[in-house]
Structure 1
């Protein structure tokens, strides 16, 4: 089933819309997600085909190399600083939308936890979810 995901930043300067069925819905406990979110993990809905993404407003991005050495681009609002999504140079067909930026985050139903090996002791997410020490095998 294909859904339309809409959302934006905290101040409203950035708005986006993306249709598609999720490839994955997950909590990531890698150190970069901890730093970016300001807590123990970040939560994402991962979708295919970036080319049909509609964005209103001027995003800024900053690149960072992941554990694999591959670069990912974190898109955020230059006014309020809210993160809205992440794209990946090694997988340009994918986009990971920050669940907190969704208009309706209740549509998020996580199926896994990635980088659980880096979890903070106080950050317990999704008991019963499939958990991977790093990224799940391709």
Structure 2
């Protein structure tokens, strides 16, 4: 069996373990991710929900994505670190923030999404494919 992806928030109140490999890994330059990260983008790994175990209780808040679908962002109520996201329209997936990994070097971005909203000062790997919004499914 492959080594699980593990991680959590900065204070340890929320922990996760995920079996399997990511379905998708991206840097997202949408305004929501910029605001949440306090940077020019957010970096994410998306997995099948079936392989995910979470301990600890996250605070959650919903927002409406450009698609019109609701995404729920989860963060630690103690240290404030954003940890994961779920999507009402795609209940079988679970997305974590790359920075929340115990071993962040395991993150290998595949693409840049919402590049149309990127800033010139946010220099990402120029070899990554860029999509103006989200790539087609």
Tell me, yes or no, if structure 1 residue 73 matches structure 2 residue 78. no
* Equivalenced residues, count: 137
Alignment of 1:1-138 (within 5 A): 2-48=2-48, 50-138=49-137
2-structure distance, mates of 1:52, 1:41: 26
Q: CA RMSD in A?
A: 1.2
User: Once structures 1 and 2 are overlaid, which stretch shifts more, 54-63 or 33-42?
Assistant: 54-63
| C-alpha deviation, 1:52, in angstroms | 3.5
Structure 2, unmatched stretches of 5+, are none
Contact 1:116/1:133, CA 8 A, preserved across alignment: yes
Contact 2:20 2:51 (8 Å CA) reproduced: no
Distance in 1, Cα, partners of 2:36 & 2:25: 18
TM-superposed CA distance for 1:95, in Å, is 1.1
CA deviation map 1:43-87 (0-9, x unaligned): 011111x24321111111100000011000001101111011111
- Where does structure 1 differ by over 4 angstroms across 4 or more consecutive aligned residues? none
Unaligned runs of 5+ in 1: none
Q: What's the CA shift for 1:3?
A: 4.2
Give the drift of 1:127: 1.1
TM-score, with length taken from structure 1: 0.95
SS at match of 1:39: coil
Distance 1:64 1:128 in 2: 31
